[in-house]
Amino acid sequence: MDIEHTLSELTLEEKVGLLSGVDFWHTKAIPRLNIPALRMSDGPNGIRGSRLFNGVPAACFPCGTALGATWDTALLRTAGEMMGREAIAKCVSIVLGPTINIQRTPLGGRGFESYSEDPVLSGDLAAALVVGIQSTGVIAAIKHFVCNDQEEKRQRSNSIITARALREVYLMPFQIAEKKAKPKAYMTAYNKVNGVHASENTQLLRDILRGEWKFDGLVLSDWYGTYSVAEALSAGLDIEMPGPSRWRGSLAQLSVSSGKITESVIDDRVRAVLRTIDRVAPLGIKDFASEGTIDNPETEAKLRDIAVSSIVLLKNSGKVLPLSEHKTTAVIGPNAMLAAYSGGGSAQLRPHRAVSPFEGIRARAKSVRYAQGATNYKKLPMLSNITFIHPNNTPGMEMRVYHDPPSVQNRRLVEAFNITDSSCFLNDYTHPTLHTNLFYVEVEGMLMPEADSVYLFSLTVNGTAKLYVNGKLVVDNETKQQPGDSFFGSGTAEEIGSMALHKGEEYKILVQFATAPTSKVRKTGATQMGLGGLQIGGCPVTDAESLLFDAVNLAKEVDQVIVCIGLNSEWESEGWDRQNMDLPPGSNALVNAIAEVNPNLVVINQSGTPVTMPWVRNVPAILQAWYGGNETGNAIADVLFGHANPGGKLPLSWPIRVQDNPAFVNTQLEDGNVTYGEGIYVGYRWYDKIDREILFPFGHGLSYTEFQMSQLSVEAYAPVSAKVSGNVANIGHRSGSEVVQVYLCFPTSMVPRPVKELKAFTKLLVASGETEKFEIELDLKYACSYWSELANAWVLEKGTYHVLVGSSSQKITLAGTFDVAVTSTWTGI
């Protein structure tokens, strides 16, 4: 379009209307000027579409940390292309991802969404994904800019950080992505940075992003992450999301008429919106179009490949792995039957399918038996897992929506539909006849117990609700409510009730729910949602001792045992941080008990961030499988039985205890402040600097074969670049992949520096008995510079730099040097 002509045709009211959403996922259309709406969607591990609740099925990719564990830029570019095509199928123009905040602590609730503790690994992988997405014509909105590294009171927390740490660690992934991929959109963080909210921070948005880096795309807020009118507009926040607007509309018009801002500021924001509309126009997406998806064997196979590439072989004593498909096998553990495909929050979506570890293993092995061994739910499992809809007996529950509460006789039904998941976040639910945030819902299902048992039932809500079993009130989460961490921190704690049920009898479960405006809970600093939601849990009471006893007896009877443990979307989620690094109660005891009775044991851990492993010396083999997306179980089975050779590497350090983490004493809010006291010493930089023992180092990952690096050559073309080259030989009996990791050390620097820092990497596939050559070019500005607060610029120091090449941060096998002759300074990208 002719942007300046279009701008001149817009009224002030129309201009302001373009600067916020009209609903949860769309911007405003202005038909008279042929300005279409833009549809946005999460996100970091798949394209959900325009419905968080009961959405269209989608391809779910492995979580961010799993993608980080691939260390494979080519693979992430392919993943980005797949995401772009899925976005087009869902009529989405802007993908809200990737997430590349630094994992400064294992306890961050959204750590699983991000790639790494290291800015170079994060930036290079993010750049590859962005290139892939944007090659399809879809725009990637890289997030969260910047320092949104924990969830506790995220909207009021203030990240206190030095300029050097901000530049070298937290901004660097974004800077690398901007240099290599030029994402066309950025999403701002919820938090403050050095006293000013990111969404109205002129240093971040105007001076650095648009000034130094010359970014010319769209800046949008995180959902409900706008906190002002004039300040956010002046700083450069183009779009407030979601809609309807709380801060723009008539308030923005008043800011112009009162002189708090000029109309030229509004025009600048509108230009960014119009440029974005122009950029996605070739997609031909129609306003509010219906959504599709891409579900075919090719997508399924590629998702499986990506999940396989992410799995890290942490330990393999005595070469227990790979297992034999022909031996008797026990699959034990609370994660065995659970397809932990994603963490919780806005990263979640409705997958085409979700394969559990047990399903994947059973499809490979000849003789497989199962025992639960322990539970790992934080809240009760979803009641929809064990209910059915009467009279057609389909799995799930029926949901009915009303304008009026149950007390109104003959109240009018808005609509009724079936749900298969009784975790219902309703914030983007819409219906043409609903015009307020207050409405009422009934959820009903039938339950027929397989044995006499006491059943537990629960309600967790952002709103109010009661649960009835055959007309008897069993759970009341209305009369009295306790604050909790549900629904992005704005919901209640779980309320639990119980009732004895009898085998073979039918029981009607009815939940009556009223939306968020009825809630009695208000939590400072939490993201307040418009409609809220409810989670309905239920399961029979279990006995921990019996579960463990049955599992141990099974382990004694088989040739080999696979124990599946870890976390899930209840333990790692947007909206709250983990309280500790421990596994759910019962998991450690289960592993120790099985290890005592069967030495042919493999432990599979699924989590997005590190967990404690007090049993690590007692078990011979450990696989870290993350949250693997749709194909989680199949990918695990491929590696377990040797159909694939594990090639993943840890994208973060794995501490022995949470107390060892550099940010341990600097994560709690003190008068709203979070002090980044560790400075630039994040992750492995900290463990190296203080010589702290660690469980598994950054970059670690074993293989079913062996590699040998040799013949390192370093050629410097100072002050521009240096070329690092050498050979990787596969001296084992299987083809496999190895990651060449290049670190730099500069011991004579004028400022304190880490012992070594990752500066480049490449992943090579090497056939058995073969040798592959690697060549890696270092941009010396990025590889050698530090940020000087005094000069307010990057400083590339003269001196001798040591090149350290290896297969992890603690397994360095080759070393060389190069010289920089003259000190220089620079800014920009």
Q: Which residues are marked as active site?
A: 222
In terms of Cα–Cα distance, which of 35, 121, 127 is closest to 77? 127
Residues facing residue 757 across a β-bridge = 744
Q: Which residues have a Cβ under 8 Å from the Cβ of 793 and sit 6 or more positions away?
A: 787, 825, 826, 827
Burial of 590 (0-12, 13-18, 19+ CB in 10 A): buried
Helical residues (DSSP H) of 292-428, grouped into ranges:
297-310, 357-364
Q: Are 766 and 727 in contact (CB under 8 A)?
A: no
In terms of Cα–Cα distance, which of 699, 698, 695, 667 is closest to 683? 698
Q: Which residues have a Cβ under 8 Å from the Cβ of 479 and sit 6 or more positions away?
A: none
Which amino acid is residue 51, in one-letter code?
R
> How would DSSP label each residue in 665-716?
GG-S-BTTEEE-TTTT--THHHHHHHT---SB-TT--B-SS-EEEEEEEEEE
Q: How far is CA 223 from the centre of its chain?
A: 16
CA separation for the pair 662, 649 (Å, rounded): 21
Q: Are strands 423-425 and 440-447 parallel, antiparallel or unpaired?
A: unpaired
Q: Crossing angle for the helix pair 73-89 and 297-310, nearest 10 degrees?
A: 140
Which two structure tokens, joined as six digits, stand for 478? 């209305």
CA separation for the pair 118, 71 (Å, rounded): 12
Which segments of 232-342 are extended strands (E)?
Answer: 312-316, 328-332
Q: Are 90 and 50 in contact (CB under 8 A)?
A: yes
Which two structure tokens, joined as six digits, stand for 676? 């980044």
∠ at Cα 808 (168, 742), nearest 5°? 55
CA separation for the pair 78, 300 (Å, rounded): 14
Q: Are 714 and 676 in contact (CB under 8 A)?
A: no
Q: How far is CA 617 from the centre of its chain?
A: 30
CA separation for the pair 645, 643 (Å, rounded): 7
Length of the chain: 829
CA separation for the pair 349, 119 (Å, rounded): 27
Residues facing residue 46 across a β-bridge = none
Which two structure tokens, joined as six digits, stand for 634? 């199949």
Give the sheet arrangement for strand 158-160, strand by strand. Answer: 196-197, 192-193, 158-160, 673-675
Could you give phi then psi for residue 139, rounded to 5 degrees? -95, 140
In sign, the C-alpha dihedral spanning 572, 420, 493, 461 is positive
Q: Are 379 and 422 in contact (CB under 8 A)?
A: no
Task: Kindly state the greatest CA–CA separation across the chain.
Answer: 86
Give the sheet arrangement for strand 757-766, strand by strand. Answer: 757-766, 736-745, 799-808, 811-820
Burial of 459 (0-12, 13-18, 19+ CB in 10 A): buried
Which segments of 241-342 are extended strands (E)?
Answer: 312-316, 328-332
Could you give phi then psi for residue 808, rounded to 5 degrees? -165, 175
Place of tokens 């596969």: 730
Q: How far is CA 421 from the centre of its chain?
A: 21
Q: How far is CA 821 from the centre of its chain?
A: 43
